[in-house]
């Protein structure tokens, strides 16, 4: 498919998804919000993509929300009956949240490769990815506070699970920038690279390591880590046992053992494609 906000390339079971509006600093306009879940669901549906690298173009990763999304009379009428206006705004925010949650809901690990500014809504987005990597010049900010609103599409819900809560509160209350070194020290990013080229190369190498493993095993890891984040250890252990009883089969393990004995890389089948109910 062709997209207005993204370039998508697939090679060796890895999808490279690039935001493609550098002239607008990859701001998150209406096309972005409509297309991101389409991209993620389409890649997941193939059953063949085993890792996604999310990167960007131009000087900055993304300037965040394009305010035209909220000022558009089609999406958020700001006049008329207050109750109906409020109900409509709530649905708009839920739709925006669902767009970013698509990164979590697919079976495939999403690795964010961030350079330059990652501002406002862009920070919401990368918080929903599985892992984050950045360049030395990268910086992050919860910009919404400075603009006079509360961040509403994921940062305040996900970031406290990724960094110390006291730091998140400071960042949210002040809206200050934090850079690559601080992000690494706090565990928000996994690794810092010198420049954009080495960043993308490095993250693609990590994606390739993921793609070598059983996609069913990796999908199970993502499912369990996401569930554990939001539940108790006891509930998560019970879910793990139930998942294992239904999903675990020795086929991929046997392939791994055989390949190791022959000092080769095991070749695994993809997970089954996602199809509609009657397809």
Q: Each residue of 116-137: pLDDT tens digit?
A: 999 999 999 999 999 999 999 9
Q: What is the pLDDT of residue 102?
A: 98
Q: What is the pLDDT of residue 247?
A: 86
Q: What is the pLDDT of residue 85?
A: 86
Q: What is the DSSP letter of 108?
A: S
Q: What is the pLDDT of residue 80?
A: 78
In the chain, the N- to C-terminal Cα span, in Å, equals 20
| Integer-rounded Cα radius of gyration of the chain | 20
Confidence band (pLDDT; 50, 70, 90) for 158?
Answer: very high
Write down all domains in the chain, each with its CATH number in brackets.
Answer: 6-211 (3.90.226.10), 213-261 (1.10.12.10)
- Please state the pTM of the whole predicted model: 0.94
- State pLDDT tens for residues 225-247: 999 999 999 999 999 999 999 88
Confidence band (pLDDT; 50, 70, 90) for 252?
Answer: confident
Identify any residues that bridge with 141 across adjacent strands, giving them in sequence order: 119, 177
- State pLDDT tens for residues 201-220: 999 999 999 999 999 999 99
In the three-class reduction of DSSP (H, G, I as helix; E, B as strand; rest coil), residue 146 is classed as: helix
Q: What is the pLDDT of residue 59?
A: 96
Q: What is the pLDDT of residue 15?
A: 98
Question: Taking a C-beta distance cutoff of 8 angstroms, is the pair 138, 181 a contact?
Answer: no
Question: Taking a C-beta distance cutoff of 8 angstroms, is the pair 102, 44 a contact?
Answer: no
Helices within the chain (DSSP H only): 30-46, 68-71, 82-105, 121-127, 144-147, 155-158, 165-174, 180-185, 196-212, 215-229, 233-247, 251-261
| Residue partners of 3: CB distance under 8 A and separation at least 6 | 20, 31, 35, 38, 39
Residue 78 pLDDT more than 80? no
The sign of the torsion formed by the CA atoms of 110, 114, 71, 160 equals positive
Nearest Cα to 68, choosing from 119, 17, 114, 33?
33
Which segment of 62-71, 102-111, 168-177 scores lowest on mean pLDDT?
A: 62-71
Q: Which residue has the tokens 């096309």?
A: 31
In the three-class reduction of DSSP (H, G, I as helix; E, B as strand; rest coil), residue 191 is classed as: strand
Q: What is the pLDDT of residue 77?
A: 63
- Rounded to an integer, what distance in angstroms lies between the CA atom of residue 247 and that of residue 209? 22
Nearest Cα to 254, choosing from 244, 269, 240, 243?
269
As a 3-state breakdown, the chain gives helix, strand, coil percent values, each rounded to 5, of: 50, 15, 35
Buried b or exposed e, range 260-274, using 16+ CB within 10 angstroms? eeeeeebebeebeee
Q: What is the pLDDT of residue 30?
A: 93
Confidence band (pLDDT; 50, 70, 90) for 76?
Answer: low
Question: Taking a C-beta distance cutoff of 8 angstroms, is the pair 222, 162 a contact?
Answer: no
Q: What is the DSSP letter of 166?
A: H
- Rounded to an integer, what distance in angstroms lies between the CA atom of residue 217 and that of residue 198? 29
């Amino acid at each position: 498919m062709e997209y207005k906000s993204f370039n998508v390339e697939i090679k060796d079971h890895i999808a490279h998804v690039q935001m493609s509006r550098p002239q607008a600093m990859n701001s998150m306009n209406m096309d972005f919000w409509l297309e991101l879940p389409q991209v993620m669901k389409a890649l997941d549906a193939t059953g063949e993509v085993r890792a996604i690298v999310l990167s960007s173009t131009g000087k900055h990763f993304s300037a965040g929300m394009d305010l035209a999304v909220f000022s558009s009379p089609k999406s958020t009428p700001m006049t008329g009956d207050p109750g109906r206006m409020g109900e409509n705004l709530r649905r708009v925010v839920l739709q925006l949240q669902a767009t970013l949650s698509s990164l979590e809901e697919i079976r495939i690990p999403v690795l964010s490769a961030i350079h330059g500014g990652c501002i406002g809504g862009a920070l919401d987005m990368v918080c929903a990815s599985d892992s984050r990597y950045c360049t030395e010049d990268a910086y992050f900010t919860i910009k919404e506070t400075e603009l006079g609103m509360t961040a509403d599409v994921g940062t305040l819900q996900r970031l406290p699970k990724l960094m110390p809560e006291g730091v998140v509160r400071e960042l949210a209350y002040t809206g200050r920038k934090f850079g690559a070194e601080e992000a690494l020290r706090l565990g928000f990013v996994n690794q810092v690279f010198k420049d954009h080229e080495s960043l993308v190369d490095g993250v693609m190498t990590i994606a390739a390591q993921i793609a070598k493993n059983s996609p069913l095993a990796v999908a199970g890891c993502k499912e369990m880590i996401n569930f554990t984040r939001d539940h108790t250890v006891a509930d998560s252990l019970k879910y793990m046992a139930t998942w294992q009883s239904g999903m675990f089969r020795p086929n991929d393990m046997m392939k791994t053992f055989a390949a190791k004995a022959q000092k080769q890389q095991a070749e695994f089948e993809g997970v089954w494609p996602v199809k509609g109910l009657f397809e």
